[in-house]
Structure 1
Amino acid sequence: MELRQLKYFLAVAQEANFTRAAELVHVSQPGISTQIRQLESDLGATLIDRSGRGARLTAVGEVALGHARSVLAAVDSLRQAVEEMNGLVRGRLVVGMVTACTVAPLFEALSSFHRAHPGVELSLVEDDSAGLVERVREGSLDLALVGTAGKPPAGLDAWQIVAEPVVAAVPPGHPLAAREYVALAELGSYPLICLPRGTGIRAVLDQAAAALGLSLPISLEAGAPGAVVNLAERGLGVAVLSASMAGQDKGLRPLAITDVDTLAVLSLVSTPSGSPALRELMAHCRRAFGAESREEPVAASGATAR
């Protein structure tokens, strides 16, 4: 008994005609007839009633049909399982992250995944969050670490890592340095230093300003949070950062912004139909961020919202 014979048998059962069944499986009509007779000989029973104009299943054929379907379904499952395992032996994953965003747990996840599956080629690219989201949607990126305003982007699988407030940060001696909080309209009196458009922090700031009808004076933009901090330390403006970014530098005093309620969110996003290799990489990410057994992750060391 051969698998192709079972496939031919299913085709004849479906079409109730040897000629149409042969066309369906792309073999000649004599060829499919020969294989069905060989199957019947192996089983010691007639499966197809050929006495009429068509081809009908005999009572034995009806019983054999269910078993034939089960056998072929089991073979398909076996093939799929092997293909999935092969996907962890070879293949390619392209991972994106926000430009100049140093998140140690992500790097640890990539490292541990590479050690476990050296046959999978890993590529890392940088872009702003808006560009990364678009590239995930179009399929050129498998996974991306992105910053957004308020919540992860819709329509993608997303695992939220950090959600934190946006704050202002000023050096000692600045007119706001003695304050604990400031309104967004007040910040408009000072030159601001911020990350560029396409980052989560900038999206939070721009959305809040638009909601209040404000036009904020962004005097300087820098792609790296460290550059924003350094520029602010030198008195070139008020830095707008996430709370964790501002808190890491002792040279700046963070101030809560009273009328900005939306949080800056950092998430890992991918398309819903992920490959076995991508699912395995996500498992490494969960372990690296210390949230292997949690449904909702908490802020992890080395992770700050962009």
Structure 2
Amino acid sequence: MELHQLRYLVAVADRGSFTAAAAELNVSQSGVSAQIAKLERELGHRLFDRSGRTVTPTAAGAAVLRHARAVQGSVQAIATTADELSGLVRGHVRLGTVIGCTIPGYLRGFADFRLAHPEVSVAVTEANSDEMIADLARGRLDVAIVAHADPLPPTITHTTLIREPLAAVVPTDHPWAGRDRIALARLAEVTVLSLPDGTGVRAALAATAVAERATVTPAVAAYSPETVLALTELGGGVGLLTASMAGGRDGLVAIPIAQSRPTVLSLACRADPSAAARAMVAVLTERLRPTAGSR
């Protein structure tokens, strides 16, 4: 049994296929298959069920997988300890951000980190927040900027950057433009433009809709707030975002939704982060300047 076999085992289990695991590991698919088969022969148990469209761990595989993850964590801890004893920050950080991240300070913080820690390689992924939160909890991301409405899992440490209600975004000549607030139920009367499921805005919308006993189904789900704002400017409907996403854009006004469940933007970090991940969190926290409480 070798460490790389356990690494392959975890990757296949997480990705659900040998091909996807091979792509993540940057090795050939045949190499991953051969090493898993070798490990199965050594242990005397079939570790994966290969009969379906996705590869799933067998009962034996699930039992072995728990220990494989623990071994990987211990190996990483040894490397981190050695680096810290030497006063070095090096290694690799997997950073996730919300799609089209334009949060003030993020790009500057990223550049500052690269300049301060050239020995650390960084892989950046853009995804919806639900996916990133799951990847942080499973150890597939180290640091992420996520938007959410519900509390994050207790294993994920985080700092709150922004906490704000949902807002209806309309042109300045819209009949709602002069209002201080608007009830969520009124959005059922118009075409709503928003972000997809899995984002903090949609999570806040779902929670608010339940509390207000309203049904609001966006007609358009765009991955970028900029797309929602552009369509709103062109008269395509009412944008459902937050005031900070509207960003004081000329020609548009953001009206808070009454009794809105807040959407929260957080800088989050996985459990037991490496020294490199902790360094990235420190730099980004400095640049992003939290505007609300932290945890």
Q: TM-score range by the shorter chain?
A: 0.5 to 0.7
Give 1:91's aligned amino acid. G
Contact 1:144–1:268 at 8 Å: present in 2 too? yes
Q: Report deviation, 1:247.
A: 4.3
Counterpart in the other structure of 2:257? 257
Does residue 270 (structure 1) correspond to residue 269 (structure 2)? The answer is: yes
- Shift of the 245–171 alpha-carbon distance from structure 1 to 2, 3 Å rule, reads same
Q: Report deviation, 1:250.
A: 1.9
Contact 1:149–1:265 at 8 Å: present in 2 too? yes
Contact 2:104–2:288 at 8 Å: present in 1 too? no
Distance 2:87 2:129 in 1: 28
Give 1:284's aligned amino acid. V
Counterpart in the other structure of 1:3? none
Could you give the per-residue CA deviations for residues 167-214 of structure 1, whole angstroms, max 9, x where no partner exists?
A: 111113433234332111112111111111111111111111122332
Does residue 286 (structure 1) correspond to residue 279 (structure 2)? The answer is: no
Distance 2:135 2:86 in 1: 25
Distance 1:161 1:155 in 2: 19
Between the two proteins, the alignment pairs up a number of residues equal to: 215
Could you give the per-residue CA deviations for residues 244-293 of structure 1, whole angstroms, max 9, x where no partner exists?
A: 22242121122121121x21111111122111111111111122124xxx
- Shift of the 82–196 alpha-carbon distance from structure 1 to 2, 3 Å rule, reads same
Counterpart in the other structure of 1:220? 220
Give the SS at the match of 2:189. coil
Counterpart in the other structure of 2:291? 298
Q: Report deviation, 1:116.
A: 1.6
- Shift of the 197–81 alpha-carbon distance from structure 1 to 2, 3 Å rule, reads closer
Counterpart in the other structure of 2:141? 141
Give the SS at the match of 2:219. strand
Give 1:249's aligned amino acid. R
Give the SS at the match of 1:218. coil
Contact 1:192–1:217 at 8 Å: present in 2 too? yes
Counterpart in the other structure of 2:161? 161
Distance 1:89 1:155 in 2: 23
Question: Unaligned 5+ residue runs, structure 2?
Answer: 1-78
Distance 2:279 2:104 in 1: 19
- Shift of the 247–114 alpha-carbon distance from structure 1 to 2, 3 Å rule, reads closer
Distance 2:241 2:104 in 1: 19
Give the SS at the match of 1:214. coil
Could you give the per-residue CA deviations for residues 212-262 of structure 1, whole angstroms, max 9, x where no partner exists?
A: 3322131111111111111111111111111122242121122121121x2
Could you give the per-residue CA deviations for residues 117-172 of structure 1, whole angstroms, max 9, x where no partner exists?
A: 21111111110000001111111111010001154444311111111121111113
Give 1:268's aligned amino acid. L
Contact 2:83–2:89 at 8 Å: present in 1 too? no
TM-score for the superposition, normalised by structure 1 = 0.65
Q: Report deviation, 1:82.
A: 4.0
The worse-fitting range, judged by mean Cα deviation, of 146-155 and 227-236 is: 146-155
Question: Unaligned 5+ residue runs, structure 1?
Answer: 1-78, 291-296, 300-306
Contact 1:193–1:239 at 8 Å: present in 2 too? yes
